[in-house]
Amino acid sequence: MRVGSGRTGCREPAGGLTEAAPALRRAWTAVAAFAAVRALGLLALALWSRIAGKDAHALLSARWDSLWYVRVADFGYDFTLTAPDGRVLSDLAFFPLLPWLEKGVAAVSPLGPADAGLLVSAVAGLAAAWGIYLTGHHLHGHRVGLLLVTLWAAVPVGIVQSMAYSEALFVALSAWALYAVLRHRWVEAGLLASLAGLTRPVGLAVAAALWAAAAVEARRTRHIGARMVAGAVLAPLGAAGYVLWVGLRRGSPLGYLDVQATWGNGFDGGLAYGEFIVEHLGGWPVVLAGLGLIAGTALALGAYVVCVRQRQPVALLVYTGIVLVLALCSSGYFGSKPRLLLPAFPLLLPVAVALARVRTARSVGVLAVLALGSAVYGASWLNGSGPP
């Protein structure tokens, strides 16, 4: 295998610019579909919150994790909160890109950091829809790309895409990074992966996806280009840099893991999650929640098996696999599991492909039911007692 500075490792795939131009022109339909589903979700939330006597705006911008991001935007890091059980919770658990953007938007606009977070999520959600569409279009064409975006917008926890949380921003960066990997644009992919790593710890999944795709391409072509190497080096810098910075602040190379441990987050191979499910199988009506957890987990794992059987590109399989493992095998707050799976949009590709084979009227009907169900579920979820 030779190492050089040629462009073989970052060449345009078959179709190149000829393929990209119509995809960019037609992406607006997917972005519009995403916006329509999210508008329905926000309408349902507004109506539900009004009936419940709650403030929908506050539910989206000023509760749970949103408050931590805003505090970082306002005052920087170093805030701690003592929980009722004595644990000392640190804001170092929250990665910095979203609060940086909140602070930047607030500095150049009349918005406060909380509303700036809503604006960032709104714009990032549209960008995520665009990137997801391009990925689906690249693999299976316009119809699948459009269906893939609409399905992602209509997942039960889709309301998180409209909150001042980091999910929309992370998925936008991840989707565009994965699309860049599929098109062998290694430096662009590496930069986006690094930014994803500054957004959430699972950003390392994007870096791993780039590494896996680069390894496969290098083996196929027996060539390692300079741009491929640069992308591979850039990809983990965001996540690694923040983790190392936290380690220096805490005086321990494992400082970030210690911070997460105080929040109850750790990796136990799914043991705690399994125990949580078993606890919810012991009586009525809690058994319904336990059965729902089993069904949801089985669906996610089954979808991944289908992705493997359909031979999705290695970058998507590695990315989705890591997101799945970290979501299902962590010991943190179990109510957040569905939210942690939100970035795993390639799991929806088999569904999009299947829907693309049926008549338009039927697929539209299915999507309408899913969008309505997502809107109702999201409104109920945010008006509940626990954080998403």
Q: What is the pLDDT of residues 250-272, one digit of tens each?
A: 999 999 999 999 998 988 888 88
pLDDT single digits (tens) 121-159: 999 999 999 999 999 999 999 999 999 999 999 999 999
pLDDT band at 10 (very low <50, low <70, confident <90, very high): very low
> What's the pLDDT score for residue 20?
58
> What's the pLDDT score for residue 12?
42
> How many H helices and E strands in the chain?
18, 4
Over range 331-341, report the average pLDDT. Answer: 84
pLDDT band at 19 (very low <50, low <70, confident <90, very high): low
Length of the chain: 388
pLDDT single digits (tens) 271-320: 888 888 888 887 788 888 888 889 999 999 999 999 999 999 999 999 99
Q: How many domains does the chain have?
A: 1
| Distance separating alpha carbons of residues 46 and 55, to the nearest angstrom | 8
> What's the pLDDT score for residue 287?
87
pLDDT band at 54 (very low <50, low <70, confident <90, very high): very high
Would you give the distance in Å from CA 3 to the centre of its chain? Answer: 34
Residue 4 belongs to a domain: no
Residue range of the domain that includes 149 = 24-382
> What's the pLDDT score for residue 312?
97
> What's the pLDDT score for residue 21?
62
> What's the pLDDT score for residue 5?
34
> Could you tell me whether strands 80-82 and 88-90 are parallel, antiparallel, or unpaired per DSSP bridges?
antiparallel
With beta carbons less than 8 A apart as the criterion, state whether 262 and 87 touch. yes
| Distance separating alpha carbons of residues 286 and 279, to the nearest angstrom | 9
Q: Would you state the structure tokens that stand for residue 291, as one six-digit string?
A: 């059965």
Residue 7 belongs to a domain: no
pLDDT single digits (tens) 83-134: 998 999 999 999 999 999 999 999 999 999 999 999 999 999 999 999 999 9
Residue 45 belongs to a domain: yes
Residues with Cβ < 8 Å from 264, sequence gap 6 or more? 87, 331, 332, 333
- Please report the beta strands in the chain, taking only residues with DSSP state E, as ranges in sequence order: 2-3, 80-82, 88-90, 223-224
Residue 14 belongs to a domain: no
Reported for 341-344, long-range contacts at CB under 8 A and 24+ positions apart, including other chains, are: 341/300, 342/155, 342/157, 342/158, 342/160, 342/161, 342/167, 342/171, 343/167, 343/170, 343/171, 343/174, 343/200, 343/202, 343/205, 344/300, 344/320
Residue 19 belongs to a domain: no
Residue 16 belongs to a domain: no
Residue 192 pLDDT exceeds 70:
yes
Residue 310 belongs to a domain: yes
Residue 359 belongs to a domain: yes
Q: Which of these ranges, 19-28, 126-135, 230-239, has the smallest mean pLDDT?
A: 19-28
Maximal CA-CA distance, the chain = 67
> What's the pLDDT score for residue 146?
97
Q: Which residue has the higher pLDDT, 24 or 190?
A: 190
